[in-house]
Each structure stands twice: as C-alpha cells, then as structure tokens.
Amino acid sequence: MSQGVDADASLLEASDEVLLRQVHPDQFPNGVLSKVAFFPSPRDQGLLSTRRNRVGAEQACLDWRASSRESVGTWGVSVGEFKGVDVAAYDDSHLPGQPAGHASADFTSYDRAKQVQKGRKLREKAKARGRLFPADQDETAEADTSEPAITDPVVRDRESSDSDGPRTV
C-alpha cells in the first residue's frame, strides 16, 4: 500500500476495468486532449481521481456537472493501462466526501516530471479509446469543443460556491 492511499482502500485487480475521468474544457484546448488531465496535482496528494466503470461514463459526467463543474466528457483508462505505467489504482469510495464508485490512481512514488510523462502515456491510451461520453461519432468529433450537451459556458464565469461536492473526478 502506498503512503498516499488510504489504508482501507482496496487495490483494483481487474485489468480490463476502465476507470472514468472527466476532462475540463480548459484541459482540452483547441479540441486536443491534454496530458495535464491525466496526472494529479500536488494538492491531490499524488492521487488521480476517477470513477469506477460500474458508475457509467454518462452518469460520471452528469455527477460532475451536477456539482457545477465543467466537463467536455468522460474518457477512460483501464486498470491494466495504469499498471502498464506502474501506477496502481484503488477503490477509495469509502472516504468521506467521495462519490460512490470513486477510485484513485496512485502517482505518489514519482516526481513531477515522471508524473508528466505518465500522464502523457495515459492520455494516449484514453485518446485511443475515444471519448466515452458523449461518444465520439467520428474522427473529427474530438475537435468539436462546443459540445452543447456537456459544456455550460455560464459555469466558467460562475463564482465557485460548490465546495461541498466531491473532491474531483
């Protein structure tokens, strides 16, 4: 168990389970998926926040939006792909404030540059899988940054008053 993960968190073993990650419009500049969306911030204590596959790509996105946060959609990285870059994933949904089916990918063993590199590799996996919700219709769908069903431009300028929501997903 890594120092960054709660002692009661359970290691995810099923390599084919796809963990769900929301991507903020500002981390999708010009319709390009940034690696920044796939490595954690120091304020996350080295843990990248995701939802488990059973939550569903659509529900994960709707939950995120319900907290008045923006998302251009849900992307996915499998537990096996995390393992492929030596990052373990844990179910830590028992922690206070976390939504059901929350999972954290543990980057705590790596310095910032390594995290950046792993983020790049995970982004490539997510990109290859394609956006899960709303599903990409074709190759050009990713370039469409004005997704009306997900992005609410009003939210961008809204004062953040939703601090009681889940930490991040």
Partner 1 sequence: MTETLTKTVGMVILVAAPLTFTMPMTRAVADVPVVQHLTEGTRSGGVPTSWWGTMVSTTAGYVPAPSFLIKGEASNEREAAMTRRIGDLARLQDGWLGDGSFAPSPAVTTWLASHAAQICQANEDVVLVPTGDGTVVLEWNIAAVEYTAELGPSDMLLVIDDTATDALTEASTSLDEEALLRFLATGLIE
In the complex, the residues that contact partner 1 under the rule CB under 8 A are 24, 26-27, 29-30, 32, 34-36, 41-44, 49, 67, 69-70, 97, 112-114, 116-117, 120, 156-160, 162-169
Q: 83 to each of 29, 41, 57, 63, 166, how far by Cα in Å?
A: 28, 20, 21, 27, 25
The distance of closest approach from Cβ of residue 135 to partner 1 in the complex, given in angstroms and rounded to an integer, is: 24
Amino acid at 161: S
Q: How many CA atoms lie within 13 A of 113 on its CB side?
A: 0
Residue closer to partner 1 by CB (options 129, 167) is 167
The distance of closest approach from Cβ of residue 15 to partner 1 in the complex, given in angstroms and rounded to an integer, is: 21
Contact 104, 48 (CB under 8 A): yes
Coil/strand/helix, residue 18: strand
Residue closer to partner 1 by CB (options 138, 159) is 159
The distance of closest approach from Cβ of residue 116 to partner 1 in the complex, given in angstroms and rounded to an integer, is: 5
Concatenated DSSP letters of 11-47? E---TTPEEEEEE-GGGSGGG---GGGGS--GGGTTE
Residue closer to partner 1 by CB (options 67, 108) is 67
The distance of closest approach from Cβ of residue 13 to partner 1 in the complex, given in angstroms and rounded to an integer, is: 26
Residue closer to partner 1 by CB (options 8, 26) is 26
